[in-house]
Every structure is written in C-alpha cells, then in structure tokens.
Amino acid sequence: MSRIRELPKVELHVHIEGTLEPDLVVELAHDQGIELPYPDAEVLRERYVFADLSSFLDIYYANLDVLRRRHDFARLAYEYGARAHLAGVVHAEVFFDPQAHRSRGVPLHDVVGGLVDGFDDARAEFGVTTDLIACFLRDRPVAEASAVLDELVDMSAPIVGVGLDSAEIGNPAAPFAEVFARAAALGLRRVAHAGEESGPESVREAIEELAVHRVDHGIRSVDDPGVMAQLAAHRIPLTVCPLSNVRLRTVADLASHPLPHLIEAGVVVTINSDDPAYFGGHVDDNFLAVAEQFALTDDTLAQLARNSVTAIFLPQERRDTVL
C-alpha cells in the first residue's frame, strides 16, 4: 500500500545479521569455497519454520559462518540500506552481535569497519542514515560482554548504544547491570530485548536493573497493568516486531497480537522488522500486516511512524539533518 511506503519511517529494531538473505548466504559461501549442508538458497529458506526463539537462533547463528571478511559485512550493510530505502526508511538504528563474530575469530575491527563501509555507501546512494547499537548476548558470560565493551571503546567504534539479545528464558538481565552502568558512564544509550518470550517481570527487570531507554519487543507487558503503567508514565518506547512474533510463535497468530492493547493503553509503540530475512518482511511489510489485521487508520499509522522518530537516539542537531 503506497500510504505505508510513503510514510517516512525510522527503524529501531533490526539485527543486521537478520538481514542476511539465503541468496547472499549461498553467494558468500560460493565466493569463499565454504561448503554448505544444503544444495541452494531455496532449500535453506524452506528450513525457516520455527517452533520458538531458540530454534530460530540456531539457524541464525549457523548462517553467520559465511560472514568472515570485512567486505562481507560491508555487503550485508549496503544491501540492508538499499532495501530499507525501498521501504521508506530514512534512518535506522541497527543492532549487531559482536560476540557472534568475535567467537568465530573475526576481528571486531573488520566487523565494525565493514558495516560502516556498507552503510556509508548506502547513505551516499540512497540517503538512508544509520547508527549502530552493539548487542550483548544474554546467554553468554557477563565477563565476555564486558570484554567486548572494552574492545569497542578501545577501537573507538562508532556506536550510539548497547543492547541485550539472544535467548531470554533462563538468562535474566540483572547480571548485566554493571556492564550497562559502565556503558551509561561512557555516554552510551541502552536498550534490551525483554518480554519477548519471557513475561512482564523481564520488562520490569530491564527497566529497573539496566535503566534502558527503550524495550525491544516488550509485548508481554500487557500481562501486568503495573508494567504497562510504568511504560506509559515514563514514555519508554517498545520496539514491536509483529511478523517476528508470529513466526517465532510468541503470539498464536497476528489477530491475537497485543499491539492494539499497547496502543490503547498509551504506550509509545514503534513498528519494526527484527530479522527481515527470516520473518517474511521488512518494516513496510510489518506496517502493512498490522494495518490490514487491525484496520488501522491513516492517523494511527502516522502516529506509529512518528513514535519511532521521538524514540531515536540522534542528538537534536543531527535529527534535523536526516529527518
């Protein structure tokens, strides 16, 4: 629907590794002589049927094997910028998972340098601007997250914030409080995945222990009126990813997605894609899906898009140059 493509959009919840399309996996593997355990991109895509978050993460991490060289990361970032432009995205704050590459022996310098190269090219060609948020993996030791923060600081990595992602159940946020406090002292913004597969107590924990500025997903907040009130009163935005929630079965179907309840309760809701190569669409597709499912008015759609603008981490003086 053109009314959606034409809305100027900001994307706040997209993992650059989750934009790795099957075609690019196969191309980069071929290019480097990496043997894949499936014959082609079609067969890989057929495997993208997920029972839950962890069954998705297994495939997501396995596919990263083809990202080895600086220019692999540049290509990934450029392709996202090009596709985001088609979706009407003018600015994106993009997650990356440093530990998922460092643990495979890829220097963080190549990861960050490559992403910046690709985003620079995409900005020059399409005008899309991007900032980077480094996510810590919550199913890995806190000490590793801390070492990654040190490494990013030592290399003056151009990140605007830190996040927390990967498997939520059994991996609470509280142990990361010290690392997040250190990031805060360095002037970095904070976000965390919470209330995706765990309940509202996980959202409260991210707010209270990590002092996050935004909560990624956060949809299970609807199960606790106290958490809903906290989000609304402090205007803590949620970066909601409807197609992700359907594909990872955190909701039974789109019709039962809590989005309308979140909007109704006055929570600052934003719409995002999460891992578009895996979940059936980019941010425009996510807008379209909820617009149709919930018969959202043009006013509501415009409000959702504006919410993302209010939630970005750009300083005021840079906002005026990109929006």
Known binding residues for Zn(2+) are 13, 15, 193, 274
Is position 110 an interface residue for ligand ES4 (rule: CB under 6 A)?
A: no
168 annotated active-site: no
The residues near 288 (Cβ < 8 Å, ≥ 6 apart) are: 1, 4, 281
Is position 274 an interface residue for Zn ion (rule: CB under 5 A)?
A: yes
Q: Write out the binding residues for ligand ES4, residues 134-163 only, by CB under 6 A.
A: none
Q: Which residue is nearest to ligand ES4 (CB)?
A: 165
Residue 53 touches which member of ligand ES4, Zn ion, none, C-beta under 5-8 Å by kind: ligand ES4
237 and 268 in contact (C-beta within 8 Å)? yes
Phi first, then psi, for residue 155 (nearest 5°) are -90, 10
The residues near 179 (Cβ < 8 Å, ≥ 6 apart) are: 136, 142, 145, 146, 149, 162
79 and 117 in contact (C-beta within 8 Å)? no
Q: In 98-130, which positions are buried (b, 16+ CB within 10 angstroms) versus exposed (e)?
A: bbbbbeeebebebbbbbbbbbbebbbeebebbb
Q: Which CB atom, from 10 or from 164, has the smaller least distance to ligand ES4?
A: 164
225 closest CA partner among 267, 285, 197, 282: 267
Is position 168 an interface residue for Zn ion (rule: CB under 5 A)?
A: no
Residue 272 touches which member of ligand ES4, Zn ion, none, C-beta under 5-8 Å by kind: none
Annotated binding site: 13, 15, 193, 274-275
Residue 18 touches which member of ligand ES4, Zn ion, none, C-beta under 5-8 Å by kind: ligand ES4
Is position 15 an interface residue for ligand ES4 (rule: CB under 6 A)?
A: yes
Is position 165 an interface residue for ligand ES4 (rule: CB under 6 A)?
A: yes
Q: Per-residue x/- marks for ligand ES4, 194-233, CB under 6 A?
A: --x-------------------------------------
Q: Which CB atom, from 19 or from 129, has the smaller least distance to ligand ES4?
A: 19
Is position 193 an interface residue for ligand ES4 (rule: CB under 6 A)?
A: yes
Q: Write out the binding residues for ligand ES4, residues 231-290 only, by CB under 6 A.
A: 244, 274-275
Is position 53 an interface residue for ligand ES4 (rule: CB under 6 A)?
A: yes
Q: Which of 11, 93, 196, 205 is catalytic?
A: 196
DSSP 182-229: HHHHTT-EEEEEESSSS-HHHHHHHHHHH--SEEEE-GGGGG-HHHHH
CA distance 319 to 323: 6
Tokens of 67: 């990202």
Is position 18 an interface residue for ligand ES4 (rule: CB under 6 A)?
A: yes
Q: Which CB atom, from 100 or from 108, has the smaller least distance to ligand ES4?
A: 100
Task: Return the DSSP state at 252.
Answer: S
> Using CB under 6 A as the criterion, which residues of the chain lie in contact with ligand ES4 when the complex forms?
15, 18, 53, 60, 165-166, 193, 196, 244, 274-275
What are the catalytic residues?
196
